[in-house]
Structure 1
Amino acid sequence: MTQTLPPAVVAPPPPSDLGARRSAAILAVILSGQFMAVLDTAIVNVAIPSIRADLDTTGSALQLIVAGYVIAYAVLLVTGARLGDRYSQRRMFIAGLALFTLASLVCGLAWDETSLIVFRFAQGVGAAAMIPQVMSTIQLTFTGNARARALSLFSAIISGGVVAGQVLGGLIVNLDLFGSGWRGVFLVNVPIGVVLLLVAPRVLPVGARRAHRAVDVPGLVALTVSVLLLVLPLVLGHEQDWPLWTWILLGASVFGFAGFAVIERWVAARGGEPLFARRALAAPGLLLTGATLFVVMSTFGGWMFVMAIHLQSTLGYSALHAGLLFIPMGLTFAAASLYWTRIPARLHAAMIPGGLVLAAGAMVALGAMLRDGADFGLAGCLLFGLMGIGNGLAYSPLMTRTLAKVPMEVAADASGILVTATQLGTVVGIAAFGTVFLSLAGATTLSAAHALGGTAVAEGVTVLVAAALSARAAR
């Protein structure tokens, strides 16, 4: 039965009309793009020592190389979702993929730390245009159990991309193909991106296009400035011994976020479309879910950054050895993300905070085990595995249950809000927990190990905060 739509809207084909092969092809393309974007949040971690040695970078520059990508990615995600609504998810995915691929090439050819930071930011812009279309396409193309499975795959790709980034980054740096060293961690995106650019136009649905949707420029500027005011002093403060300007910027960020809220109200009052649509924000549990995912990803991103430094710089492991140690966490996260629906539905509300409590306990136990300079060993792999299970039992179920309650017409905005929360969490986590670790670490191996133990306690307590938030969101 054909549904009548407003003239400005071109509907995607109904889910029932997409055959199994077409559905699989769509998921393969968009999740491959998602995989690349997630890969680049982690693949640089194990290349940090090589980048530092080759480009003679400072600690703050290293944090900007890692976090700069995620800053652009996080701040522009909602705008990317809005542009997908305006010009179609298909067009924005392809445009973002093209920019991401080109920026990856230039990152691999970077000549100093400044150029690498700039082009990492460009990578993030491309990812911000591409990735919101992944969840929006899932929301608009699949329904019922098919949508739940697609979102579970989406969550599994997040963990799989992070772990693959650690392993693949270590392998690339160790192999040093053609003398590329760390540059290979960026150049690996180029052939994948080119293949996807050839396939995507033939596979992706045209999708919905709502030409009347405007971009909230004042809101975008206010959010971007506020995030930079928060993140830059966190990243640069330790390296420069916390000068006065860092505290001024941190204080200004509070007023910046308050100003952003005022601007959003003003845009809505004038009949415009705020960056965060009111109808999306009003969806049951969306704000609590966003807050929970922000906290979860701040600990996750911070822990991956800190552990990559500790395993290589403190324990002296090779990049490949360090990367392989993250496999248990990725496998268990992926398994929990894919199979949590087999747990009885009556247990789901308790399962989500319970998983985060498990993750917090495993993180603190791992920090306690490593704080005296001990090797990672089998016990470390087991604790990493428990962390993956705990986070997997919380992340995918919480996102799936929340998005199921979102009206279809604001699906893109809701997707952008949740993905923005996760990416902003990663940015703040790298900056905040990276700063905690670097501030506590001294010149000796033992003092650096003690710093890891202290950071683990701080992160574990933060995960417990996420567990408390998730308990309310899950209800």
Structure 2
Amino acid sequence: MTDLQIRATAAPAAPGTTARPGLLLLLVLTGQFMALLDVSIVNVAVPTIRTDLHASGAALQLVIAGYTIAYAVLLISGARLGARFGYSRLFQYGLVGFTAASLACGLAPNTGSLIGFRLLQGVGAALMVPQVMSLIQRTYTGAARARALGLYSAVIAGGMAIGQVLGGLLVSADLFGAGWRPVFLVNVPIGLALLAFSRRLLPVLPGDSSRRFDLVGLVVLAVALGLLVVPLVLGHELGWPVWAWVALAGSAAMFGLFGVVERRIAARGGQPLIPGRVLRAPGLVPAAGAIFLIMAGFAGFMFAFALHQQAGLGHSALRAGLLSGPVAVGFGLSSLHWQRLPQRLHLPLPMLALAVVAPAYLVFGVILRGGAEIGFGAEAVLTTAGLAAGCAYSPLFARALSRVDPADAADGSGVVVTVIQVGQVVGVALLGTVFLGEVSFPAPARTSGHALLVTSAAIALAFAAAAAFALRTRRAAG
């Protein structure tokens, strides 16, 4: 039995009903895809935003990371709010907020307001996205649920990568002379259409008013994440001042305090933000560790690769996006279809796949180290890396949740999706710092290529570490 089948058969019968389950799945996964798209769609618009708004390097990283900071910090709370007030209702509220913030981003007059609206966009996504897994779990059963979960995993895996391609198309098209703004405005008609259909398609799933809200845990976790991400984003640009190191040390202390707070709330009979029994589920912690490193490496690569192409090689946004296509397609396709591989390969698949991904990124960096154009050989290596990464990511996502109690499905998925988003934030911030530490644009292609090689080596190390975590998930997959 595969990981996704385990999850499908272990969950209870779904109480939600809908006359059009296929359309419902399309609705919620489109919302999920739209939120994930905005993590990466901005990457290829960075040079245009820099020129139009005269943004600094740190401000550009905040434009990218600000969204995922808010998204990551509030995802678990969004899951809890959905359980209390109703999953369908919170999906709609989040969709309204996300759509309105997207419009504001597209009309932003300066960098400061764009960063602020990106944070609000992340809040809307954090309310909307956790409800997707809960709606699937409560609306589909048996084989239909297994298929829905497979598509869910593929959307998460491919959303970020496809954003690179779509972003390139929108920026290069320069619709109505709007430059970078369509990468945000494209969400508005899609969001309005989803809202119109959601009123007819979303099932009626009343919330549980007995579910409490862990405000103390939320505040402590938000502070911990903020103290981690902000110095990573701003440290390089400001020359790593003392406050950055103090903040990083404070982040470690706040994560420790978060654990103490959560245990005390549970001991008093309360409902902590992350129940301890969820973290004790076999396979969840090592799978989440591997997923964190995979997403950090992937997000950091996409950020560095986009800058290398546009600022180092002089590619247009469209060309940069299209050259990211192979890794996007490979990642998405293998995430969706890995179960078609022979059953005997399912157990070792994440380790085998990561053993391919790590050297592939290193080889890719070596090929481009001298500032060479991106030819067939480099694209073939990148396609291989994408296919292999999807074969690791999707089984690990399933293993992370396969042994979580069905009653804790929303909390478990909230933890894993939060790990994904934090991994992306850390990847862009940390690996972006590695890349920008080796090159200061404008710079010759050779210097940019060397920076890409150094970054690719760091990414290869991240995937090698992910393989070590993946090895510890074998018991959960048995």
Q: Answer whether TM exceeds 0.5 for this pair.
A: yes
Residue from 148, 151, 156 that aligns with 2:149: 151
Q: Identity of paired residues, percent?
A: 51
Aligned partner (choices 75, 78, 88) of residue 77 of structure 1? 75
* TM-score of the two chains, using structure 1 as the length reference: 0.94
Shift of 1:139: 2.3
Q: Please identify, of 174-183 and 339-348, the stretch whose mean Cα deviation from structure 2 is larger.
A: 339-348
2:471 maps to: 471
Counterpart in 2 of 1:194?
A: 192
Say if 1:276 and 1:417, in contact at 8 Å, map to a contact too. Answer: yes
Distance 1:286 1:450 in 2: 37
- 1:2-151 counterparts in 2 under 5 A? 14=15, 22-151=20-149
Aligned residues between the structures? 462
Q: For 1:163 and 1:399, how far apart are their aligned partners in 2?
A: 17
Question: CA deviation digits over 1:342-391, x for unaligned, max 9?
Answer: 22333212111111121112111111111110111112221121111111
| Alpha-carbon distance, 1:474 to partner | 3.0
The amino acid across from 1:459 in the alignment is I
1:211 corresponding residue in structure 2: 209
Residue of structure 1 in register with 2:459 after alignment = 459
Counterpart Cα distance in 1 of 2:312 and 2:26: 39
Are 2:357 and 1:351 aligned? Answer: no
Relative to 1, partners in 2 of residues 1:150 and 1:474: Cα closer, same or farther, differing over 3 Å? Answer: farther
Q: Which runs of 5+ in 2 are unaligned?
A: 1-11
CA distance in 2, matches of 1:437, 1:460: 14
* Residues in 1 aligned to 2:379 and 2:192: alpha-carbon distance in whole angstroms: 36
Distance in 2 between residues matched to 1:142 and 1:470, nearest whole Å: 29
Distance across 1 between alignment mates of 2:421 and 2:400: 18
Distance in 1 (CA, whole Å) between partners of 2:296 and 2:192 is: 32
Rounded Cα–Cα distance in structure 1 between residues aligned with 2:57 and 2:48: 13
Query: Match of 2:382, as an amino acid?
Result: F
Distance 1:408 1:221 in 2: 27
Q: In structure 2, the residue corresponding to 1:406 is in which secondary structure? A: coil
Secondary structure of 1:349 counterpart = coil
> How far apart are the structure 2 equivalents of 1:398 and 1:36?
23
Q: Give yes or no for the alignment of 1:410 onto 2:415.
A: no
Q: Please point out which of 225, 228, 231 is paired with 2:226.
A: 228
Q: Contact 1:140 / 1:411 at 8 angstroms: preserved in 2?
A: no
Superposition deviation, residue 88 in structure 1: 1.2
Q: For residue 338 of structure 2, what is the amino acid of its counterpart?
A: W
Per-residue CA shift, 1:187-231, capped at 9, x if unaligned?
Answer: 000000000001112111123522111111111111111111111
3-state SS of the aligned residue for 1:240?
Answer: coil
Give structure 1 regions of 4+ aligned residues with deviation exceeding 3 angstroms: 11-15
- Indicate if the aligned counterparts of 2:287 and 2:399 stay in contact, CA closer than 8 A: no
SS in 2 for 1:181: coil
Match of 1:447 in 2: 447
* Residue 444 of structure 1: how far off its partner (Å): 3.5
C-alpha spacing 1:455/1:51, structure 2 compared with 1 (3 Å): same
The answer to whether the 8 A contact 2:97-2:120 is kept is yes
Q: What corresponds to 1:5 in structure 2?
A: none
